Amino acid sequence: MHIETIFSTIANKIINEIETAEKSVYIAVAWFTNRLIFEKLNLHRSFQ
């Protein structure tokens, strides 16, 4: 697992990670208000 701290253009980085993920994406945030990221996560989630 690669850990990276980002303070600018974070939405673009998260969306890129979601779109290129092969298995899982772990995101730690203080709050979650970006609708586009929410939609990308829903699009790429898998049910087990």
Per-residue pLDDT at 11:
85
Q: 16 vs 48, which has greater pLDDT?
A: 16
23-36 pLDDT per residue, tens: 877 777 777 788 88
Per-residue pLDDT at 46:
58
pLDDT above 50 (res 8): yes
Which string of DSSP letters, residue by residue, matches 1-48?
Answer: -------SSHHHHHHHHHHH-SS------S----HHHHHHHHHH----
Mean pLDDT across the chain: 79
| Cβ contact 27:2 at 8 Å | no
Per-residue pLDDT at 47:
44
How many CA atoms, within 13 angstroms, populate the side-chain half-sphere of residue 43?
11
State the angle between helix axes of 35-44 and 10-20 in degrees (0 to 180), rounded to the nearest 10: 10
